[in-house]
Amino acid sequence: MRRFELRDDASAKFWEVSHEGSVVTTRWGRLGSDGTRTLKDLGTPAKAAAEIAKQIRSKTAKGYVEVGDAAAGAPAPAPAPRPKPAPKAAVTALAATATATAASAPAPEAAPSDTVAALADVPDGGQVIVPGSGSSTYVLRNAGGVYSCTCPAWRNQSVHIDRRTCKHLRRFRGEAAEEARLGALPVRAPSSGGRAGSSPGPDAPPLLLAHRWDQRDPTGWWMSEKLDGVRAYWDGQRFLSRLGNQYVAPAWFCEGLPDFPLDGELFAGRGRFQHAVSVARRIDAGQAWRSLAFVIFDAPAVDAGFEDRIAHLDAWFAQRPTPLARVLEHRPCEGHDDLASELRRIEALGGEGLMLRRPGSRYEAGRSESLLKVKSFLDTEARIVGYQAGTGRHKGRLGALELELPDGTRFKVGTGMSDAEREAPPAIGEVITVRYQELTDAGVPRFPTYVGPRADASWDAIVAAWAEKGDG
């Protein structure tokens, strides 16, 4: 690794470069930071060496000065002769390079029998550029153990992002490593029109679901804040999504939770829905979970009315307090004025709305009139069907998402997204939540705003519910 630094009145930066075989690794950033690391496969070792020489000339021309052993007089690699142009068909896959390098290197110590090593790997938080067909290239990324690829085959899959793979990931990391990560490799890539992985699995919990409040008298109903988090069902051993997929929480996050089922949300705070989704989707069981709390609002297995179920939860956690879990506060609603006042207070704090529970109601699976949601705005699920290029400040990145409602109505949403989301938007086919004020006469959401991807959603179930009762 050769290191170069730039220090002047306006900058204090570093840049590092090295190569192994045909792979060039660069890292850059502010002095004192970890910086950003990328890997790029140039096809051959000669091309990699030539690229490094070119980049070093560019950096030194900008004022970067080499530091470390090479600058102190240690032998530096001689510039490689300019290679002859290679035919496109001769582009070598990075996995093949990694295999060849491994074959010539000293044999590593044997890995544990339950560990499958990758041929090569993408650093956590980094990316790798790999060759595609013809002259195209694709970017592989690793975000906390969730691997992605910019190729259409990866983007257009309708399965959860941490369950996706493609030929570029399998070629780079190896079939065995990808199979170990996913549990099993797909027999074939899902077609763009398929619904693979979108239906509830065998472990889907029997959740109680809400209707919208229909202006009925709320007096005496139990009122609580509607949390802007990720719905999670604790089955006594693990967290499950609405579709039965597991949220991979660290063992320390689960400490102190009971061996009976709990219904609640993984909550990062008001206005932090997207952060909660991103943490819940991670599969590395890392420290990011410390930014979440498990807020519990029901005990599904307790065969009693709502008041007794909440009393059971309060008593249990009073004897066994845990810092990362708490029971949501409920209070009786005193009528329409009380409901309106509390809704204004919660929304002023950045909350999403309120929930109402019928007194004495039992926990039942499915959508029920015993649970109502109260909000000043509306939201709906929509599926991404395309992208619109940005203009002006957003030129060169996403301008708007092209969306489809469950009834087939199409519209666009271009507000509510961060710059980072415009640079790497959700994949086509992914289900997102959109907030809006009302529907036009044509059924199009008025003033729509992007909220974020659904952590776990079945498009088939959303379409069926819409067809049966409308967007509730």
**98 contacts 40 by C-beta, under 8 angstroms:** no
Three-class secondary structure of residue 434 per DSSP: strand
**364 contacts 301 by C-beta, under 8 angstroms:** no
CA separation for the pair 51, 19 (Å, rounded)? 10
**456 contacts 243 by C-beta, under 8 angstroms:** yes
Six token digits for residue 422: 């415009």
CB-side exposure of 385: number of CA atoms within 13 Å?
15
CA separation for the pair 406, 163 (Å, rounded)? 24
- The position carrying tokens 């990011």 is 288
Given its phi and psi angles, is residue 392 left (phi above 0), alpha (psi -120 to 50 degrees) or beta? Answer: left
Tell me the catalytic residues.
226
Which amino acid is present at 271? G
Question: Around Cβ 414, how many Cβ atoms within 10 Å?
Answer: 16
Three-class secondary structure of residue 220 per DSSP: coil
Identify any residues that bridge with 65 across adjacent strands, giving them in sequence order.
Answer: 5
Torsion of CA 132, 137, 138, 140, to 10 degrees: 100
Six token digits for residue 253: 């996050």
Three-class secondary structure of residue 3 per DSSP: strand
Vertex 457 angle, CA 453 and 458, to 5°: 140
Q: What is the largest CA-CA distance in the chain?
A: 83
What 3 state SS string does 302-355 have? CCCCHHHHHHHHHHHHHHCCCCCEEECCCEECCCHHHHHHHHHHHHHCCCCEEE
